[in-house]
């Protein structure tokens, strides 16, 4: 009796979350659709009466542009799928399994119907485990990409430091050879005057 009430409450909560996510996704899609509609031509801006000092425009760094470009990519179908189906399914599966274990330890009636509960857990668990496996694969791929990126970055820093050190050595060698040439030319001038 209590287990069905808890399951009903859990189902209602998940339904409300699903509706909220649906409204959120729909509003985002409507905003994106209105962004591409043709705009009405605007009136020319009136000229200011007083000359205003122009503010120096700061050049935008490439990384700032890239981050804004990535932010404007928006929500994809996979994002919608993950938030509306996959996440609630996994949470429901884990929550229901934990609930059955907890009530099974405290209530012998649950143990009498354990086959029905385990069947329901297995039905929910199949897709949930696939989703979790895919999420872990994506996470592993991201970690491998980060590792490769940091290796390349570290190698670039090493190469840069090596090139900077070689350049400094070359500059010092050129400066020393220039000083040596100047000293030898001044010595030859002094010796030429003495003769």
Mean pLDDT estimate for the chain:
78
Between 78 and 183, residue with greater pLDDT: 183
Between 46 and 71, residue with greater pLDDT: 46
Between 55 and 136, residue with greater pLDDT: 136
- What mean pLDDT is predicted for residues 134-159? 90
pTM assigned to the model: 0.44
pLDDT at residue 39 greater than cutoff 70: no
With tokens 């840069």, the residue in question is 160
């Amino acid at each position: 009796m209590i287990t069905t009430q808890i399951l009903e409450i859990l189902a209602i909560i998940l339904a409300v979350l699903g509706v909220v996510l649906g409204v959120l996704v729909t509003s985002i899609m409507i905003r994106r659709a209105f962004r591409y509609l043709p705009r009405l031509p605007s009136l020319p801006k009136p000229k200011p009466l007083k000359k205003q000092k122009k503010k120096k425009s700061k050049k935008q760094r490439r990384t700032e542009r890239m981050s804004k470009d990535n932010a404007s990519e928006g929500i994809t179908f996979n994002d919608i799928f993950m938030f509306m189906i996959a996440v609630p399914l996994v949470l429901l599966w884990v929550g229901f399994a934990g609930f059955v274990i907890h009530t099974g330890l405290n209530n012998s009636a649950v143990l009498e119907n354990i086959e029905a509960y385990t069947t329901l857990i297995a039905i929910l668990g199949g897709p949930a485990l696939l989703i979790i496996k895919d999420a872990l694969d994506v996470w592993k791929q991201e970690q491998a990409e980060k590792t490769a990126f940091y290796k390349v970055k570290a190698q670039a820093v090493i190469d840069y430091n090596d090139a900077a050190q070689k350049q400094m050595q070359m500059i010092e060698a050129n400066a020393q050879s220039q000083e040596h040439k100047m000293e030898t030319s001044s010595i030859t001038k002094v010796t030429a005057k003495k003769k």
